Amino acid sequence: MTTTTDLTVRRVAGRIGAEISGVEIGPDLDEATVAGIRETLLAHKVIFFRDQHHLTDETQAGFASLLGPLTTPHPTTGRVFGQEHHVLPIDSERGKANSWHTDVTFVDRPPQASVLRAIHLPPYGGDTTWANTVTAYQDLPEPLKALADGLRAVHTNDYDYAASTPRTEVNGELRKYREQFVSTLYRTEHPVVRVHPETGERALFLGHFAQHFSGLSSRDFTALFELLQQRVTRPENTVRWSWRAGDVAVWDNRATQHYAVADYDDQARRLHRITVGGDVPKGVDGSPSRSLVGGSSEYTPAL
């Protein structure tokens, strides 16, 4: 077991993001170090570790498992591309996730956290941006908080990550990925404001998998969604990370959205993601999310 109490935390932005140094992450960290990492994650929503070149897929998964039980790579695409060690490759050959989202919200137990490691990076561009959905909620005027508290949204994977990709750039691999992504349909109703199970903080729970608000028309959904979503992505709520090979980012999927900046032309970009199983979200009134189509039992362990 590796023992270290030399964690150094440097805030990267005012409302979200911190870099941790003084540790080589892996599966053999002691309990005190893991507790310090978790505490920093809860406080800053996304944390970064530079230059973790020693990691492999297996040891990345071992580290992630210290944070909780691991999911399979993905509810749909993870079954076709043959990933091992719970790893989902985030590969530019399969499109660019340049839309604000929280991971896998179309199931009833979205991940609590994601661990992302940079494998191959383009010579320029390719940053990732995260947004703090807790401060986004806190900034709402009281009437908007009251409105959001009572809303519920239906999330679905019937969404094309690569919809903004020009048709001329759609290759066979990308087309296969698109088809697999929607091969099994999931629809889940979530509260628009979820209460964080560890901190008790309220967070806006939206992102691009949210397709409509229960009981409202599509026109009302579009207007209200944009009103609330733009609060999430205000620059003051965000942090942008410029990757180096070997970097690792860990984010609290219950309190963030993220966006991969597609500014690297046709250069190759590959990162490996592992997700940690989460709980069923609950709203301000205590009502849990509910699955409408499909379930998460084959994807994430019950907690």
Catalytic residue among 101, 152, 187, 194: 101
Lowest mean per-residue pLDDT among 176-180, 254-258, 263-267: 176-180
Confidence (pLDDT) at 257: 98
Tell me, yes or no, if 240 is annotated catalytic: no
* Average of per-residue pLDDT across 76-93: 69
Q: How many percent of the chain have pLDDT more than 90?
A: 77
- The residue written with tokens 């959904």 in the block is 221
- Is 51 considered catalytic here? no
**DSSP one-letter code for 72:** P
- pLDDT band, very low/low/confident/very high, at 296 (cuts 50, 70, 90): confident
Does 6 qualify as catalytic in the annotation? Answer: no
Of 86, 117, 178, 273, catalytic = 273
Domain boundaries, the chain: 8-293
pLDDT score recorded for residue 82: 47
**Which of 208, 258, 269, 272 is the catalytic position?**
258
Higher per-residue pLDDT: 219 or 76: 219
The second-level CATH assignment, the architecture, of 8-293 is 4-Layer Sandwich (3.60)
Burial class (CB in 10 A: 0-12, 13-18, 19+), 242: exposed
Tell me which residue of 19, 5, 91, 16 sits closest to 52, measured CA to CA. Answer: 19
Task: Identify the pLDDT of residue 85.
Answer: 62
CA distance 148 to 38: 29
Q: What is the mean pLDDT of residues 282-296?
A: 93
Q: Is the pLDDT of residue 168 over 50?
A: no
Q: Give pLDDT tens digits for 1-20.
A: 444 557 999 999 999 999 99
What mean pLDDT comes out for the span 117-141? 98
- Decide if 273 is catalytic: yes
Residue 180 has pLDDT above 80, yes or no: no
Q: Which residues contact 62 (CB under 8 A, 6 or more apart)?
A: 26, 27, 28
Instruction: Give the per-residue pLDDT at 294.
Output: 84
Pairing of strands 18-21, 46-49: parallel
Residue range 93-101: mean pLDDT, rounded = 78
From residue 272, how far is each of 124, 129, 210, 249 by CA, in Å? 19, 17, 25, 11
91, 103, 108, 279: which is the annotated catalytic residue?
Answer: 103
